[in-house]
Structure 1
Amino acid sequence: MEKKRRSKKQRQKRKIVLVVLAVIFALILAVVAFIWSKFSKMDKIEMKNIKVNELPQETEEAMQGYTTIALFGLDNRSNGNFESGNSDTIIVVSINGDTGEIKMASVYRDTYLDIDEDKFRKANAAYSSGGPEQAVNMLNKNLDLTISDYVAVDFNAVVDAVNLLGGIELEITSEEVGYMNDYIDGVSEVTGKKSKHVSAGKQMCDGVQATAYARIRYTTGWDYKRTERQRTVITKMFEKAKETDLLTLNSMLDEILPEVSTSLSATEILGLATDMTKYHMGENTGFPFDKESTSLGKLGSVVVPVDLENNVIQLHEFLYTNESYTPSQTVKKLSETVHSNTGY
C-alpha cells in the first residue's frame, strides 16, 4: 500500500514537472517570437565577402575583447534605401567588453583612401560604389581593422529616434543658427516631419532639429566640426536612451527598426543589449588626426592623412589602447601610395 502511495505521488510530481517545463518552453517560444517580430523588421544586407589585412598576432590579440562596428549615416535623399548612396557619416565604434566603454572615431568623408583595388577616392564613395560591404572593406584595408558588421541609418531613423526619446538638449551658437534653420527646412521636406526654426542658446531639440544640427558643415571647422556635431548627437541620444523606460524603448524598436539596416543578427544585438547598463561613452575623435587638405583634379578637395601609417598607429592606440601596434604591410604600402599621389 505504501509503495502504491509513493508511486502515485511520484507520478503527480512528474506531471507537475512536465507542466512547469511546458510553461517555461511556451514562455521561451513567446520571447523568441517577440524578439523575431522586432528584428525581422530591419533591412538586412548580407556581408558575403569581408576582407581583412594580414595582421601581426600582437595586433589581433590587442583587439580581442572589443566589439568593433561601422556606423554609416546616408545622405541619399531616398529614405529606406541602404544599398547605395554616399555615407556622409562614417564612424568606427569600439566597445570594450570588460569595461563597457564606447569610443567613436569619425572618418572624415573626404579622406583620400583606397576604396577598392588600388582605387583611391574620397572615403564616402566606397558605400556609394559597393554598399556597406565595400565600405567596411575600405575601413579594414586602410585602417588595419577587422570589422565584420555595420549599422546604417538615414534621416528618417535619426528624426524618429530623437522624437521618441523626447528630444535632446543642444547648445546652438549664433554662427550655427542660420545654417541649421536652412537644414531644418530640407530635413522636413525629405522626411515629411514638421519642425520649427531655432535661435541661439541651449535648448531641447526635436528629431528634425537634431538631424539638421548634425548636417551643418559651413561654420568654422567645416566638415571636421560637422563630424564633432554628429558624435555629439549620438552621445546625447545614448545618454537619453539609458534613462528611458522599457515601454518607450519598446515603442522605439517598433518605429526605428524598419528604418535601420544592419548585418548584426538578433542574437548579436541582444548580446550587446544585455550589457546596456554597463555601457558608457568614452572619448571620441576624428580621423585622420594629422591631415592636410588639397585639390586632386576631378576629385576636388580631399583630406590627406599625413601620413596614413602614422595616423593608423594613433587610431589603434585610441580605439584599443594599443601602444605597441605595428602597421601591416598593406597599410605601409597604401601610405606610400597616398604620399606619392598627393605629395603629403
Structure 2
Amino acid sequence: MSNSEITTHDPTSISRKSKKKKWSKPKKIWVSVLVVFLLFLGGAGTYAGFLYSKFDQTLNKISGSNGKTANAAFIPVATEPITILLMGIDARGDGETLNSDVIMPFTLNPITKSATLVSVPRDMEITFDGHSRKSNYVFPHYYIVDKEHAFPKTKEFWSNKLGIPIDYMVTVDFQGFREAIDVLGGIDVNVKMDMCYQDSTDGTNINLKAGQQHLDGAATLDYVRYRKSNCGTKESTDYDRNLRQQEVLDQLFSKLKSFDMVTKVTDILNVVGDNLETDISPDNLKQLILSYMNIDRGKINFIGLNGEWVSPFMVIPDEEWENAKRALKIERMRTAANPNPTIDPKTRLGTDMKSNYRSSGNNASSDSNSSKSQSSNKNTDASSKSKEKSSTGSGSKATPTPRSTNNLKSNSKSNSNQGSSGVEADDRVPKVD
C-alpha cells in the first residue's frame, strides 16, 4: 500500500457492506495492537510481548501523523479501572437493522489484574423515551438518528443504567466473528440439544445436532445466536444464549494462549478489518496491553442475567440487576490493599429498572464522563418524580415503565394489549420518534 492510500477513519462508523474493503494503514496497525491485547487476555503474554514491541514501533510512526482517531477520549487506563461496552452487531441482509445481539459491559482493573463481564440479554426490558423497549434497541436508534454521536450517546445511556461510567465502546460485526473463529481453527463444544431455525430474509440457516461437535465460524455463530425455532426443536432462552456466549469466549481465551495461535496474528488481522470499530485511541490501547499482559483467566468473572419471559420481553428481577451493577462497581473499587470491597445492598446504583430514561436529542457531547452520568441521573430522577406527581394530580396517563417481577402473572395476561401503550413487539428496525 502506498503512502497516498493512507487515510484516517471514523471510529463510530459501521460498515454495512458484505464485501471486504481495503484497510487504511492506521487502521491496520491499530487493529494489530488490539489483537495483541486479546493475546494478553488469553494468557500468551510472553509471545505477545515480542509482537507488541514490533507493532509499537510502527504504531508510533503512524499515529504521529495520519493515525488520528476521531472523538477518542483519554484517561489514565494504566493505573485506573475502566469499563468498556462490547456490542456484537448483526448487519446481515440489507444491513439496516444493526441488531445488537451481544451486549456485554465489562470492567478491567489493572491494579488487581482482574475483570468482571456482564452479559445483558438482548430482549431485556428497559424504558427509553417513555416506552418499553428491548435492550438491543438503544444503539441502532442512536445510529439512525445521529450516526456521529451514536457511540457517546449509547455509552451515556448504559452509564446511567449501570450507575458507573462507560469509558469506551467496541462494536464487532458477526462477519468478523465467523471468520476469526475459522482462522483459530474452530472450537469444540457439547451441544446440549438440537437447534434448528431458518429465515430466508437474512440467510439464517441454523441446523445443529445435540452432542460433542467441532464447530467452524458459521456454526459457532449459530450456536451462540440460537433462540427461536421453526423446525420443531426446543427453543432457547436469552439466559442460555448468554451462557453459550461465555462458553465460546472461554474457548477463545484458551485458543489464544497457545503459541500456534500467536503465529496466526496476521491472519486474524486480515479478517477483522472493517468489522470492528471503537473509540479507544491507539495510545490507550497500548496502555491496556501493558496493564493486562499477565491477567489470569481465573480472575475473569462472567455474570449472566436470568429473568422471566413476558412477551415480547425478558424481565430481569430488580435484585438480580442490582447485583450485576454492584459487581461492576466493586471491580472498579478494588485496590491492592482492599481487593474485596463491599457496597451496602441498600445502595441503588444509577437508574434502576423502574425509572424512566429520556434521550437528550442530538446535542450529546463527544465524551461521556462520570460527572455527566451522575448529573444525568439526578435530572432523570427529578424529571421522573415530577411527571409522576403531575400524572397523579391531573389524571393523565402515566409514562409506561418496565414491569416488576412481582406482577409477572398479571402482565402475562395483558400482553395482547401492550401495543397501545407504546411497547414495540419487534425492535429489529427501530422507529425514529
Match of 2:348? Answer: 327
CA distance in 2, matches of 1:143, 1:29: 34
TM-score, normalisation: structure 2: 0.55
Deviation at 1:216, TM superposition (A): 0.9
Candidates 233, 250, 270, aligned match of 2:248: 233
Aligned residue among 264, 270, 275 for 1:248: 264
Q: What residue is the counterpart of 1:104 in the other structure?
A: 117
1:125 matched to 2:140? The reply is no
Which of 138, 160, 176 is 2:194 aligned to? 176
Task: Tell me the SS of whatever aligns to 2:84.
Answer: strand
Residue 305 of structure 1 is aligned with which of 303, 316, 327?
Answer: 316
Residue 86 of structure 1 aligns with an amino acid whose one-letter code is: N
Specify which of 268, 278, 294 is matched with residue 262 of structure 1: 278
- Is the CA contact 2:239–2:304 (under 8 Å) kept in the aligned structure 1? yes
In structure 2, what residue type is equivalent to 1:273? I
* SS of match in other structure, 1:334: coil
CA gap of 1:123–1:34, structure 2 versus 1, over 3 A, is same
**2:221 counterpart letter in structure 1:** T
Task: Give how far 1:45 is off.
Answer: 7.3
- The answer to whether residue 361 in structure 2 is matched with residue 342 in structure 1 is no
Cα distance in 2 for partners of 1:28, 1:303 equals 43
Distance verdict in 2 for CA 1:67–1:341, change over 3 Å: closer
CA distance in 1, matches of 2:201, 2:213: 20
Query: Does residue 1:284 correspond to 2:302, yes or no?
Result: yes
Q: Any unmatched runs of 5+ in structure 1?
A: 1-26, 49-63, 296-300
Residues 164 and 350 in structure 2, CA contact (< 8 A), matched pair in contact too: no
Change (3 A) 1:123 1:177: closer
Consecutive unaligned residues of structure 2, counting only runs of 5 or more, are 1-53, 74-78, 144-150, 229-233, 332-340, 357-380, 385-398, 406-433
TM-score (norm 1): 0.67
State the distance in 2 between where 1:135 and 1:235 align.
27
Residue 124 of structure 1 aligns to a residue whose secondary structure is helix
- In the alignment, the residues of structure 1 paired with residue 114 and residue 107 of structure 2 have an alpha-carbon distance, to the nearest angstrom, of 8
| Cα distance change of structure 1 residues 40 and 177 upon mapping to structure 2, 3 Å threshold | farther
Q: Which amino acid in the other structure matches residue 207 of structure 1?
A: G
Deviations 1:193-231 (A, max 9, x none): xx9965432232211111111111134552221121122
Equivalence map 1:68-79=2 (5 Å) = 68-77=83-92
Report deviation, 1:316: 3.5
Give 1 or 2 for the bigger CA radius of gyration.
1
Contact 2:127–2:401 (Cα < 8 Å) also in 1: no
1:163 aligns with 2:190: no
Query: CA distance change for structure 1 residues 40 and 34 in 2, over 3 Å: closer, same or farther?
Result: same
The 8 Å contact of residues 110 and 123 in structure 1, kept in 2 or not, is answered as: yes
CA distance 1:285–1:126, shift in 2 (3 Å): same
**Matched residue of 1:269: which SS?**
helix
Q: Bigger relative contact order, structure 1 or 2, given CA contacts below 8 A and separation 6+? A: 2
* Shift in alpha-carbon separation, 1:76–1:45, aligned structure 2, 3 A: farther
What secondary structure is seen at the aligned counterpart in 2 of 1:212? helix
What is the percentage of aligned positions where both structures have the same residue? Answer: 23
Alignment match, 2:42: none
Structure with the bigger percentage of helix: 1
Aligned CA distance change for structure 1 residues 142 and 292 (closer, same or farther; 3 Å) = same
Alignment match of 2:237 (pick from 199, 208, 222): 222
Distance between the aligned counterparts of 2:226 and 2:270, measured in 1?
Answer: 29
Residues 125/328 of structure 1: CA separation in 2 closer, same or farther (3 Å cut) = same
Amino acid at match of 1:156: Q
Indicate whether 1:314 and 2:323 are aligned. yes
Aligned-partner Cα distance in 2 for 1:127–1:236: 28
Task: Give the CA deviation at 1:76.
Answer: 2.7
Measure the CA separation in 2 of the matches of 1:262 and 1:270: 14
Any conservation in 2 of the 1:84–1:130 contact (CA below 8 Å)?
no
Partners of 2:132 and 2:402 within 8 A in 1: no
